[in-house]
Amino acid sequence: MKMIVGLGNIGKEYDKTRHNIGFMTVDALADKYQAMFKQDGQRHAFVADVRINNEKVLLVKPTTYMNDSGDAVRPLVDYYKLDLADLLVVQDDMDMDLGRLRLRQKGSAGGHNGIKSIASQLGTQKFNRLKFGIGHPAHVHQAVVDYVLGHFGKDEQPDLLAGLDKAVEIFEGFADGEEMPMLMNRFN
Q: Which of these is catalytic: 19, 112, 136, 151?
A: 19
Contact between 80 and 49 (Cβ < 8 Å): no
Average pLDDT, rounded, for the chain: 95
The CATH number of domain 2-187 is 3.40.50.1470: yes
3-state SS of the chain: helix, strand, coil percent to 5?
45, 25, 35
β-strands 101-104, 128-133 pairing? antiparallel
Q: Is 79 annotated as a binding residue?
A: no
Torsion sign across C-alpha atoms 60, 114, 152, 12: positive
Known catalytic membership, residue 19:
yes
Q: Is 185 annotated as a binding residue?
A: no
Confidence at residue 138, expressed as pLDDT on a 0 to 100 scale: 73
Q: Quick: pLDDT tens for 99-114.
A: 999 999 999 998 899 9
Residue 41 has pLDDT above 90, yes or no: no
Name the residue ranges covered by the structural domains of the chain. Answer: 2-187
Q: Which amino acid is at 133?
A: G
Q: Is 53 annotated as a binding residue?
A: no
CA distance 86 to 35: 20
Q: Is 188 annotated as a binding residue?
A: no
What's this model's pTM, rounded to 2 decimal places? 0.95
Q: Quick: pLDDT tens for 148-177.
A: 889 999 999 999 999 999 999 999 999 999
Residue 27 has pLDDT above 80, yes or no: yes
